[in-house]
Amino acid sequence: MPDSTDSVPPAAPHPADRPVYVIGGGPGGLSVAYALRAQGVRAVVLEKSDHVGASWRRHYDRLHLHTTRRLSSLPGLPIPRRFGRWVSRDNVVRYLEKYAEHHRLEIVTGVEVSRVDRAPDGTGWLLHATGGRELTGAAVVVATGYNHTPRVPDWPGRDTYTGEFLHASSYRNAEPFAGRDVLVVGVGNTGAEIAVDLVEGGASRVRLAVRTVPHIVRRSTAGWAAQYSGVLVRRLPVRLVDGLARPLARLSTPDLSAHGLPRPDTGLLSRVAEGAVPVQDVGLIDAVRKGRVEIVAAVESFEDGKVALADGSRVEPDAVIAATGYVRGLEGLVGHLGVLDARGKPVVQGARTPPDAPGLYFTGFTNPISGMLRELAIDARKIAKALAKDGAATLSRLPV
């Protein structure tokens, strides 16, 4: 597998010599590259870091997939059974490395693409990359990832806050916080799991600031993974799923209202449509019930070294961890092409291309209830088939 920028091909003089460039060497980019290779199409993956799966390497230590091993494999190579049902972060990285090697994917590391433009000759795309390179591809697949750029809300007083503050992307484990009072802000899957990790790692006090009460589901019930339900209901009417989810939630999860976490007043699938997947319980319910994780109001501002909450109270933790999500960071790359919506997300993804940008594809920019890796695998095959069909005359073909 190429590991230096020396392997980047020059701009191709003839359209038929142009490969498909895949931007991003995570699971989305690797699966598309394999699917294209299986169609006989040459694909070159451009990865800005030194390794594939860079974002996975940066996740916190205790992370395991919330989706099953069987439904998380990428096309053409199952995740090994020895990795267990819930695959650890380190084993995800091992799998991605093996995936690239097994399929002999053409990957170039250390190359960051800063901008994508239409090619001057009107066919294909021109990529502006590290070191002033200009690469011309028959098509481009953007797979830079859902968790691209850490998002920190513009809280008043945040710039002058002198206490320890970090985004969840910088959190690795609880060791630095042993014996300390920590406020975790945000109750998505990351915030919930970090809060539990802090409790188990010896933090003296853990508070979890919640703005919008989440739906909480068991990761598995009697062997039935929550992901299986997500796959089954994903394409059902939203109102139907919302209605079914309410009584099931009452049966499967306890009422935590007395502890500051009432049941949500909005439907489960309605929230997913807004971009908020349910929180899978990996210890949060028990930690809240036992008072080991305290639920507090949302953060409003930072004042005089303290954190002001929405209920008017103020807390003074030793450290604040903002589990406040990410933004896609696509504006500089493709924002000028009119292919993003008001929230900075691609207007289409998968096998569809934007109306005014044929040959430009996106994958991995939604957070589906059925599982991110599963949907990436499905999208990869669809993108490859669409490209092989629609770009037959201009794609660079692999030797038979």
Among 11-15, 174-178, 340-344, 394-398, which stretch is predicted with the lowest mean pLDDT?
A: 11-15
Position 274 scores a pLDDT of: 85
Lowest mean pLDDT among 6-10, 106-110, 271-275: 6-10
The mean pLDDT value for 20-46 works out to 97
| Same domain, yes or no: 34 and 113 | yes
Q: How confident is the model at residue 3 (pLDDT cuts 50, 70, 90)?
A: very low
Q: Are residues 350 and 316 in the same domain?
A: no
**Pair 79, 194 in one domain:** no
Please indicate, yes or no, whether residues 171 and 296 belong to a single structural domain of this protein: yes
Closest by CA to 352, choosing from 322, 320, 317, 390, is: 390
Domain that holds residue 184: 151-322
Whether residue 166 sits in one domain with residue 124: no
Q: Tell me whether residue 205 is in a domain.
A: yes
Which pLDDT band, with edges at 50, 70 and 90, does 394 fall under? low
With 60 as the cut, is the pLDDT of residue 11 above it?
A: no
pTM score, whole prediction: 0.91
Query: Does 365 lie in the same domain as 297?
Result: no
Mean pLDDT over each residue of the chain, to the nearest integer: 92
Residues 289 and 355 in one domain: no
Instruction: Check residues 5 and 158 and name the one with the higher pLDDT.
Output: 158
In tens, the pLDDT along 329-354 reads 999 999 999 999 998 999 999 999 99
* Domain CATH for 232: 3.50.50.60
pLDDT at 275: 82
Q: Is residue 285 part of a domain?
A: yes
The reply to whether 254 and 133 lie within a common domain is no
- Number of CB atoms found within 10 A of residue 258's CB: 10
Total of domains in the chain: 2
pLDDT tens digits, one per residue of 128-176: 999 899 999 999 999 998 888 899 999 999 999 989 999 999 999 999 9
